[in-house]
Structure formats: C-alpha cells, structure tokens
Structure 1
Amino acid sequence: MAAGISTGAPAAGRWRRRLGAACDLLRVSGRDTGGMGARLVFSAVVFCATLPYSNDPAPFLWMAAMAALAVAEARASDGAADLFAWMQSAGYALAGFYLTFFQIGAAQTFGVTLYGVVMFEILVRDYARPRRLLTNLTPMLISMVVVQLGAGVRLVERDQPWRIATVLATTYLVFRVFRSLQIDLTRARRDLAEARGRAEADARRIREAHRIALMAEGMAGVGHWRVDLASGETTWSEGVFRIYGREPSAGVPNLGTQMAHFDVADRRRWRAGLKIAAKTGEPFEFEARLRRMDGAARHVVCHAAVELGADGEAATLFGALMDVTEARAREVALLDAKLRAEAAAEAKAEFLANMSHEIRTPLTAINGFSSLLSDLHDLPPDAGLYVRRVKTAGMTLLTVVNDILEFSKLESGHVALSPQPFAVAPFLDDVMALFAEQARAKSLALSLDLDPGVPAALEADANRLRQVIVNLVSNAIKFTETGEVRLSVRHADGVLRVSVRDTGCGVPEDKRDGLFQRFFQIDGSNSRRYGGTGLGLSICKGLVELMGGSITMESAPGGGSIFAFDIHAQEAAPAPTGVSAERAGPVARAQILVVDDVAVNRELVRAMLQAVGHEVSEAASASEALRLTACERFDLILMDLQMPEVDGFAAARAVRAQDSANRDTPIIALSADVLPEHVEASAQAGMNGHIGKPISPLELLGAIERWSGSRAPADGAVDRERKIPLS
C-alpha cells in the first residue's frame, strides 16, 4: 500500500499539471479574438447539425445571433463581456434543449454531446472564476433539468417510472464529473501558478547572482571562461574581455589566438599544466604576462580545470583569469619600501653605534679620571665638589647614550637574547654594588631580599636582566628622597620574579597608563625636577617581553612604588668561574696587559689598576701586544676592539693561536662597541668577557677578580638578607 501511495500521488500530481497545462492552452477569454473564432466555428458546427432537423429559419436566426454575441463579447468591456458570454451559454442551452427534447436518434445524441462539450468549454474557460462559472453554467443546467423532467414525464406516460432513478443518477453523475474536473483544474492551475512563481523566483535569484558575480568580477579584475575542446568554441565573460582589452562586439577569438597573447614560456607552462590536468583531473594554476590588444603588458593568474567526458577524456576546459598587475605593483612597492626602511634602519643603527662609540671614547676619560680624582683625599673642597659635578654629568650623559642606543635596537628588532647559566648571588651583589654610592649620597637604605628558594644558578640573559634591574633600581633611587629602596627576588616553577620597592613620591594615577610608553615623562614641564629621556621604562618593558615575561607597577601618590617583573628562567648548573685549574687560589697581585691605541685610555686603566696594587703593561697596537704575549706571562689581557691595522678580534685570535704561556690567559674586551653583536663577536674571537666604555671601576675590578683569580672565593653560605653599608 505504501508503495502504491508513494507512486500514485506523484502520478495524480502529474495528471493535474498536464491537465492544467492543457487548460491553459484551451482556455480562451471573452476578450480574446482566438476565443471568438473558436465559438464561431463551434456555432457553425451546431448550425450545420441542426439544419437537417428543422424546416424553419430558426437555425439561421440562431447562427446569426450567436455570431453577433461572439463578436460583441470580444469587443465589450469586462461587465458587458460577461453578459454576452452568458447569452451565448443560453443560446447553446436552447440548441441542446431543442435537439434532445424535440428530436430523436442521432439528433438527440448530438444534443447530449453538445451539452457535454459546451459545459466542458465553460469549465475550462472559467474554472478559476467560480461566480462566472456558475453564471455561465446555469442556462445549460436549467436546460438539462428541463430535458430530464420531460424525459421523466414520458417515462411515467409509458408506465416506466422506475427509470426516472436512472435519469436522475445520470444527471448527478454528470454534475460530480464536472465538479471533480473543476476541483482538479483549480488544483492544477494553483500548482502551475506555484511552480511558475518558484521558477520566476529562481530565475530572479539566478539573474541577481549573475549580476553580482559580474560586479564582483569587475571589482576584483577577474573573468571566467570556458572552452569546448571538441568544437573549439570558447565563451568569455565581460571580465575576460576587459583583461584582454578586447571589445565584446568583436567576438571571442579561437584558442590559438588567445594563447598568442602570452609569452612562449608561459604557453609551454600552459600546455604542460593542461596535460597533467587532463590525466589527473586536478585543477592547475599559473601566473603569466599577457600582452593586451593595445600592447600593454598585464600580469595575470590563470586558474583552470578540466571536465572529463563520458569516455574519460578531457571534454571541456574552464576556469578564471585574474588581473594581478596592480597587486604585483603594490607588492614590488611594498618590498621596495621595506628594503628602504631596512636600509634606513641599518643606517640609523650604524649611525647610533658610531655616535655611541665616539661619545663613549671621550666619556671614558671624563668619567674615569673624575672617578679617580674624587677618590683623592687631599683635594680642596671646591675642587672636590667640581669633580663630583663632572662625574655626575658624565654618568648622566652615559645614561642618555645607553637609553637611546638600547631603544633604537629594540625598535628595530635587533636585540637578540643570549641565555647562559649565571650565579645568582654574585650577579645581584654586583648590581647592588653599582648603587651603593648613590644610596649613600642620599642616605637611603638599599637592601636585597633574596628568597631561599632561588637556585644558586639560573639560565637567562644575565646582561639583559641586569639592564632591567639597574634601570628600575636607578629610578627608585632617583625618585626617593628618604626611606628605603628594596630589591626582592623570588623563583618558582621556572619563573623568576623580581620587584623593586621604594618609599618615594609615587606615580599620580593619571600618569600610570603612559608610564611604559616611550619618551613619557611624569613631569614634562620646563621646570621638571627629575631628568631623563623617558625611555628607561619603555626599554624595561621591551626587554622583559623579549625574555617572555611581563612588567607591572603599583603605586600610591606619596606612598612609594613597586615595580615588578617576571621572566622565564630555569634552574641551571653552577656557572663556570672562568679560572683554569692552574690558576686556582688567591693571587695578591695580578700582571695585566692593557692593549689600546688611545694613550689616554691606557693611562686611565693603568691608574685604576695600580691604585689597587696590580702591575700593568701597555701595548699601543695589536702587533706590540703579540710581541709582549710571546715573551711575557700575564694573568689577564684587556683588549680594545677598534684599533688601526689589526683590530682586537684578530689580535685575540692570534694570542689564542700562539704557542706561549698566554694561550689560555683570560682576555677581556674593553671597548666602546657595546652592541650585542660586538659582544658575540668578542666571544667568537676567543675572549672571555666584555666591558663597555666608559669604564666602570667596579665592573672592571670585578672582572679582574673573577678572571684573574686575584681574590679567593668567599667561604660559607651566601647572606640572602643584607643591606649595602652606607659608610
């Protein structure tokens, strides 16, 4: 049953659709000249069929009247046309009545046929208009009822009353048949209307999609094409015509002419891609230069695919053509701009590096000798004050130079990390020692809180870590007039957390958002109390993020500030001391060779080292240094990098290559070249460390103690909670 229902319903639907389509072909309107002609022909048939059964002029009058009504209906307005249609229906009813009631035999049969044909014609014509349908069928139904009544009377007269039921049943059957036809026709018309509506909606959507696609093609510089490989027939969209510079009215050229617009090499690539696609069925793509009709060259990207036929052979080639000339021009312009920007950045970096070197060289003498002078106790009070002023000014200038150079490296992305194991406690001791004098000058308590959970050694970029801590501690001391500056260090789960707390003036709430921005000043007025470039915290933020961490700040106006940051730093094996086994143990006095082409620098280093009891030899060039290392033994070599003829890198390599007692002697670079690449190059040349100019006496003496072994390592545990003495 289910199968019958599933197949029967579509069959009934198809029957209704076909019947509705037939009705649309047969249905004629009263205002239609085709309908008028059909009625005239039908009326003529009825007239001819009636003539043999009538000897009076009635058929002629009936024919004339029906013809006049048909013409009047075709020309009348809507209301009058309905009246004329009803009158024609009444005329046919009268003819049917005459043939079926007054005639017998063939005439009566023709009358019955007349009823059926006319009623079917009315039904087909007016089934969608129930009121008009009922109006036009009424004369026919009345005529049929009268005929049936007459037939009933005759049956009674013939003593056959039981046959009246047959007559009535026939009448009812005719009514049901025509009613079913009306319902089916109405459904068929509705189905056709819905199908036509859906088809029109689909057609509108397709047209709209096509227009949008063409608009998109125009905006994107794309066109689509199709080639029938059997016939060679080619179809182009408007976009392809536009790309080729060809008018659509000129038609689509054949495939050979199309390919002639490409270079020979591009045509070969096209054929190779076509062969592969024909075998594999996979689409292919290539970029080529196309010569337009006007001679202009365009860069195009062609996407193509092959459609295989029933025999498995390539039947159709289709795809899209995209004009990428402007895109390629933009790419070239961007690349050119990138190269120019990189060249400008390189020039800027080189300029800053050269300026840094040129400024650091005289600052070495200014800061170094002013530091030596400030340690003299027999200076007059005014002279001592002046020396301290010179020293402070030199250190301030050095800070500005360092900030500008570091910011430039961060901005250009030239900062590279060099994670190495380092001993935590000595590292922090060295950092805190840098600020002992500044804290002492302001009577500030400078303390270090090293948590017991911090490993003895960590792996991180110690130089960058020192730079961040130094910057934060320096700021804390600068903005704190009384109280304490405290450095706290914690470590957990591979994360090192460092915080610097001060009791200074704090940061106003409205200034906190821009605190880590470049060139930001809390007080940017001409009368600002504290100096600085406004780059320090920006540099700290950049370095911390480069090390995979983050930096935060908490502050209350007048209540001090806490700057904290965390970075990834895993526990490491204890860092090597850098002292060979044969040099283990304390050395009271070290023999040090200073190599520098600038006499003032050699004089400064000699004074610093002799002040603490070391013996110093000097070399003004690399060749002189090699001569001394070949015949004398030194505990440490301080090597300048930029020297005429042979630089410090080559000199270090030559010392390492000598068969002398100094082959393994620690070599420390002492240079105004302080970029990471310079430090890395020093290490690659065989040097053990790097000290930047201007020379910090503490850093220099610390390096000498570390590498020459002039001081024995301290015994016992590290003091993790200690204060830097102020006197």
Structure 2
Amino acid sequence: MNGDILHHVPIHRGRAFAPEAMVRMLAVSTTALAQGRGITLDVSVLTGTPPRLIGNAETVSSLCNALAASAIACAEPGRLSFRLSALPNGEDSVVLRAELHGRYDGHCKDGFGKDFARRLLAAMGAQMTVTQEDDGSLRAMLDMPVGLPSRTTDGEVLMSWARSRGGRLLVVDDSATNRMVVAGLLAKAGFSVETATGGAEAVVAVAQAPVPPEAVLMDVAMPDMDGVTATATIRSLGDERSRIPIIAVTANAQPEDRVRCLAAGMNDYLTKPVRRADLLGALERWLAPLPV
C-alpha cells in the first residue's frame, strides 16, 4: 500500500457518499488479502449511522481500506471485525469511526499502529488510537470528521428525485396483499411501480424489459423460484442489468437469512412488515444522490 493513495484535503468537505456502500466495497476489495492469511473479515455499519454523509469520499474510503489492509497484514489467522459508526460532533457534522478489533502477530503489535499513523498525516483532521484489550487483542479506532446532508429529510429528497425522473421499481412477491402494500407505499412516494408474482417472472422482467427497473424489491420465500435464486440469476446476466440494486423484503428475520441474501448478491435487507421509513431509507442508500 502506498501513501500516495491518501489525498491532502480536508475529509469533512466534498460530496455525498453512502457508508453502507463504502463498507461493502471494502469487503470485496480485501477478500483475497484476508483469505490469503486465513482471516475472516467481518464488516458492518452500526445502527444509527446516517445512510448518507458529506465528505471527501475518496479519502475516507482510502483511509478505511488502508486501515483494513494494514490490520489484515498483521493479524493472526481467525476473525477480524471492522465496524463503521457515527459519533455526534456538533449540529451539522459527525465523526465517522472505523473500528478494527482482532488479534495480531507479536512482531506487528507495535508496528501496526505506528505504520498506519504515518499514513494519517496525509489526511487532515483524521485521528487514530490503538489500545490493547485485557484478552491481548488490539482495538484500532480511526476517527474522521464528516458532514451531514442538508436539513431536507432523506425521504423528501428521495420523493422529489423519484417524481422528477419517474423512478421505476419492480416489486416481487407471491402474496397479492404484500405486493399491494409495498407498491402503494412506493407509488405515494412518487415511484412508478411494476409487480411480479414470483422469482421467475422477476428475472424475465429485468432481462427482457426495454427499460429495466432502477431497483427490485425482492421477496425471498416464493414457490416457483425463490428470491435468492432469482437474485443470483439476475447477477449472472452479464450486462448493466446484472448490477441493478436488489433489496430483500422478507419475513425471514434471522441473522443467517440476512447473510444468505447478501451472499446471493442482494444489496440490502428489510424485514416484514416493512416500514415506510425503512423502505425509503434503503432506496435512498442505493438510488438517489443527495445534494451537497
């Protein structure tokens, strides 16, 4: 990793970015490095982190990736956790905290913190602390000041965006009642909504529609083709349609269900009965950019 990947710019200025999307990209980019060292990198964004933040997205992403790569290079085989959270920092800003926790090789325990601290000199405003836990593990916390979006609510921005461009969504569910409820919520928010009664119909709708939907709300348990299989099929299409955001909307609420959905290529995960705020929040994460 080279120090020149970090930019000499304040990281609390810039454009809107989605922490959830950034962490997912981090997980993908570090998979090979982690697997090569026998490490399972467990990444997550903690509840309460705003879905959109304002900052120098490239610098924030570079810092987080450099932190993860430095930790992986020094960690012992096993599990390494990466958590992203937001701490209050005034009326219109927060501190975005990237926290890594794991066990490290003896010869790396000092070098890990010092090596990465040197990289932080290129990112103005970022601070890092490394502490040793009672069990011998290390906890590294990287704090990056970032801004909050404008006072216009995410829901208002999303609805304005949907109405201005006629955002098209596909709702997939074998229950007519569930289709009606979700489609109704989305239509009231300004979206143009189409429906499919099962996974096979959803695959055809995405693959053959002259203009594909901008996102898919996908049930999981369906009799003809379940949502996991339908998602994997869409992801295998091999063109821009394979990259359409797919959001699980499911009654399956166990942690392993979420892992299964995300592993199949779904972008997000909501549980039934779905709330309007959660539905719009998930769509905002994957569709509508916020003004800076």
TM-score scaled to structure 1, two decimals? Answer: 0.21
Query: TM-score if structure 2 supplies the norm length?
Result: 0.50
- Higher RCO by CA contacts (8 Å cutoff, separation 6 or greater): 2
